[in-house]
């Protein structure tokens, strides 16, 4: 039996890892473990460990890695220390990490330095801020790559990864988006006490590489939203450098009747709320990844999602209040006719399982090879 550890540090990466964990839990050849850390254990962000525990997954191990937002490097170091102890005790056959967070980087570093296979989910993507650096670093520390599309695969080949180590499986969250696991809109609204008939989702994350501009960005963001006189479901940002600036401004809106502010939203509930939103505004990947599948218009602000997929439902603007107001005024109706399949067809978990059932994958060379492109 193969021991497989999934590393999760945020509500976002857990939402994407969940279908992969679920499909393995039902297989006698695999034993799954979860290393839960990061925002999941922070009460400020809703203590989402509770949501993970509700899934009934086996072998949940917790580790508190949080330092403070200005010391992401120390959070990385602390996570490496904690995960190293866990790996040495468990001796897993495979470590699975997702995306571009410091927890993923820690997992890949510990795995590779302990001669353990590391699988990276959704590498090869493009974006902005520090995420870009972390994601490609995780790629180079990983042995196996489960990517969302051929474009991502080609970027990994550019990075020198061998073709045999890359499998195109789509984005696992698409599995959830069109499943029967989503609650009804009524249930979601009641659960989070959302009083609005119609609403938009507002989500703005820190841009770590533009930290000096964050105070102005957040002011422009808040001024623009309040000037539109729309109803907003605002969700707390991630805990990267600059998050406290955004959180402080969120507090100023708590008495504003046009805003319902939440520390976190359970992934399936978030998808239901997104599917029924008038639009999503901010710089979350949900605006350029999930929203187009539902035909929900996106107003993407600033550089955080720079170079991501652009579709007709996405407006890209600068973080200026006047541009925000104009973009909201120019919104079109939801588009349900555009075909969107850049991130898979909803069968990522099945393709993931199929890959792991191939004995060849377990014999891949732990000593990584670099393939030149001529």
> How does DSSP assign 316-347, residue by residue?
EE-S-HHHHHHHHHTPPPP--SS---TT-SS-
Phi and psi at 366, nearest 5°, equal -70, -25
pLDDT reported for residue 68? 72
**Domain spanning 2-178+346-362, CATH architecture:** 3-Layer(aba) Sandwich (3.40)
CATH 3.40.50.2000 location in the chain: 2-178+346-362, 185-329
pLDDT band at 175; cut points 50, 70, 90: very high
CB atoms within 10 A of CB 270: 24
Distance, first Cα to last Cα, the chain: 41
pLDDT band at 119; cut points 50, 70, 90: very high
Asked if the model's pLDDT at residue 217 lies above 70, the reply is yes
Closest Cα to residue 129, out of 89, 151, 169, 100?
100
Range in 74-78, 114-118, 251-255 with the lowest mean pLDDT: 251-255
Contact assessment for residue 33 and residue 7, using Cβ atoms and an 8 Å cutoff? no
Asked if the model's pLDDT at residue 367 lies above 60, the reply is yes
Contact assessment for residue 243 and residue 249, using Cβ atoms and an 8 Å cutoff? no
pTM of the prediction?
Answer: 0.90
pLDDT reported for residue 336? 54
pLDDT band at 339; cut points 50, 70, 90: low
Q: Averaged over 335-350, what is the pLDDT? A: 74
- In the sheet that 2-8 helps form, which strands lie side by side, from edge to edge? 60-62, 30-36, 2-8, 94-98, 117-121, 144-147, 166-168
Q: Averaged over 179-198, what is the pLDDT? A: 95
Superfamily of domain 185-329: Glycogen Phosphorylase B; (3.40.50.2000)
Whole-angstrom distance, CA of residue 294 vs CA of residue 275? 6
- Mean pLDDT score across all residues of the chain: 91
Whole-angstrom distance, CA of residue 292 vs CA of residue 279? 10
Q: Averaged over 296-320, what is the pLDDT? A: 82
Q: Averaged over 145-155, what is the pLDDT? A: 95
């Amino acid at each position: 039996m193969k021991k497989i550890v999934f590393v999760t540090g945020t509500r976002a990466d857990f939402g994407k890892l969940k279908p992969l964990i679920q499909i393995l839990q039902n297989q006698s050849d695999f034993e799954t473990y979860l290393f839960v850390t990061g925002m999941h254990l922070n009460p400020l962000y809703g203590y989402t460990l509770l949501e993970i525990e509700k899934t009934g997954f086996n072998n949940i191990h917790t580790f508190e890695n949080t330092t403070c937002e200005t010391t992401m490097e120390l959070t990385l170091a602390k996570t490496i220390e904690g995960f190293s102890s866990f790996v040495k005790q468990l001796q897993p056959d495979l470590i699975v990490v997702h995306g571009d967070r410091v927890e993923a980087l820690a997992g890949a570093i510990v795995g590779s330095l302990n001669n353990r296979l590391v699988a990276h989910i959704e590498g090869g993507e493009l974006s902005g801020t520090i995420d870009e650096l972390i994601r490609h670093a995780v790629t180079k520390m990983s042995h196996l790559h489960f990517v969302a599309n051929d474009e991502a695969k080609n970027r990994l080949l550019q990075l020198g990864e061998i073709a045999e180590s890359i499998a195109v499986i789509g984005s696992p969250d698409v599995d959830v988006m069109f499943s029967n696991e989503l609650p009804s809109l009524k249930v979601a609204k009641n659960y989070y006490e959302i009083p609005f008939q119609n609403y938009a989702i507002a989500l703005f994350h820190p841009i770590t590489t533009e930290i000096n501009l964050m105070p102005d960005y957040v002011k422009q963001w808040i001024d623009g939203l309040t000037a539109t006189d729309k109803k907003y479901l605002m969700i707390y940002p991630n805990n990267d450098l600059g998050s406290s600036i955004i959180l402080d401004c969120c507090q100023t809106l708590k008495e504003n009747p046009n805003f319902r502010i939440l520390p976190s939203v359970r992934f399936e509930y978030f998808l239901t709320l997104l599917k029924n939103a008038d639009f999503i505004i901010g710089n979350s990947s949900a605006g350029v990844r999930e929203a187009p599948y539902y035909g929900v218009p996106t107003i993407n602000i600033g550089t955080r999602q720079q170079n991501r997929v652009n579709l007709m439902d996405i407006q890209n603007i600068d973080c200026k209040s006047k541009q925000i107001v104009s973009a909201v005024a120019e919104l079109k109706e939801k588009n349900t006719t555009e075909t969107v399949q850049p991130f898979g067809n909803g069968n990522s978990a099945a393709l993931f399982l199929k890959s792991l059932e191939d004995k060849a994958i377990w014999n891949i060379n732990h000593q990584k090879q670099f393939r030149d492109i001529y």
